Amino acid sequence: MKQYVFVIILTAAITLTLSWAVWRLSLRFKLYPGIRERDVHKTPTPRLGGIAMFLGVCAAFAVSAHHPFFSIFWADPKAVLSILAATLIIVLVGVADDLWDLDWMIKLGAQFLAAGIIAWFGELQIYTLPIGGLTVSSWVSFTLTVFSIVIVMNAVNFIDGLDGLVAGVCLIANVIFFAYSYILVRDIGANSFFNLASFIAAVLIGACVGFLPLNWSPAKLFMGDSGALMLGLLMACSAIAITGQLEPAVLDPAEFGRSQLLGAFIPILLPIVVVLLPLLDFGLAVIRRMSAGKSPFSPDRKHLHHRMLDMGHSDRDAVLIFYAWTAVVGLAVLLMYIGTQEDWPGEYLIGVAFGVVGVAACLAVTLLPSHRTPHQESLP
């Protein structure tokens, strides 16, 4: 565990330092766009924070290459190098979009290219689904992997609309996912992909912790498309490194004493629920825009965070509510998994009870905002 703590602290320190440097340079050279109609902030703010986060992530990977503890996934570096190459492509395209507002087709093409590099050259694919021993064919595996990565990237990017929202949601999601992957490695045994998943989660925790001080309301620096797409890409990779690599026999419920339902579905459920809100927002946006005859990537002001502002929540309250939803849903499923592993009384019932109470509390806070004045849509 101490190795992962070191990775988190290192990544956070480098990201924080570089975020401050990027912020100062962006102000000095006026590297920030004007305010768009759908934006919530009222002051032009630099959007190049993703550069600092990317460099912090790269520094962590560079250090891991020389640390014996992480040699398990550097022994065959194809997956790691492919992930880094794909991340570089995404960050470069994201920075270009943050500065010059690229056409959505160019961005989507870059996303499919990056996902293809990971799936093809890195051989990081969804080979199996832990449901009844289901193994998918090579082309299905490749296609499913590419689309999964692209969907998660865009889902995370779509919720990037309030100060501290993406960084905080991803921080919580990766803390939960790191706990899950760490417990899985402890129970099943070391594996290059499993350890890589834990490492990526730790790196993302550090990147989010280091970036949040400058991104918290009122934000001095935004991560932009480069940062949000990078977070989505790496989160998808860590989830696939576990879920897509699990051998169904390893999850034999009879061997581990857990129920058939949990033994089959938790490895799929948990990677999904930690990004449930981004995926929900993404799905609603695609349906809404295509129903109106528009591109699924055409911007609008109808995302979930916009709707919460219109309900009367302040910017900061809306962000905290998103945090609460992410924590409640993710922790509920994590507790269900831990309950089956530790042979708790009632196994997963503790997680279910926590989820029911937490969801009820989140619903009450969401539907009953303390400020009833609708958020102003018009911006100067």
Task: Return the domain boundaries, the chain.
Answer: 2-275
What is the model's pLDDT at position 266? 62
pLDDT tens readout for residues 98-121: 888 889 899 999 999 999 999 999
pLDDT at 369 over 80: no
CA angle, 216 then 218 then 223, to 5°: 55
CA angle, 14 then 16 then 20, to 5°: 115
Establish whether 163 is an annotated binding residue.
no
Collapsed DSSP state (helix, strand, coil) of residue 2: helix
What is the model's pLDDT at position 377? 39
25-34 average pLDDT score: 84
pLDDT tens readout for residues 198-216: 999 999 999 999 999 999 9
Establish whether 174 is an annotated binding residue.
no
Q: Other C-beta atoms within 10 Å of 113: how many? A: 14
Q: Which residue has the higher pLDDT, 266 or 196?
A: 196
Looking from the CA of 168 toward its CB, the CA atoms found within 13 Å total 24
Collapsed DSSP state (helix, strand, coil) of residue 369: coil
Q: Tell me the pLDDT of the chain averaged across its residues.
A: 84
DSSP one-letter code for 134: E
158 token code pair: 């779509």
pLDDT tens readout for residues 274-316: 788 888 888 888 898 888 888 888 777 788 888 888 888 888 9
Rg (alpha carbons) of the chain, rounded to whole number: 20
Kindly write down the DSSP assignment for every residue of 37-59, as one continuous string. TT---SS-----HHHHHHHHHHH
pLDDT tens readout for residues 54-102: 999 999 999 999 999 999 999 989 999 999 999 999 999 999 998 888 8
117-128 average pLDDT score: 87
38-47, 260-269, 347-356: least confident range: 260-269
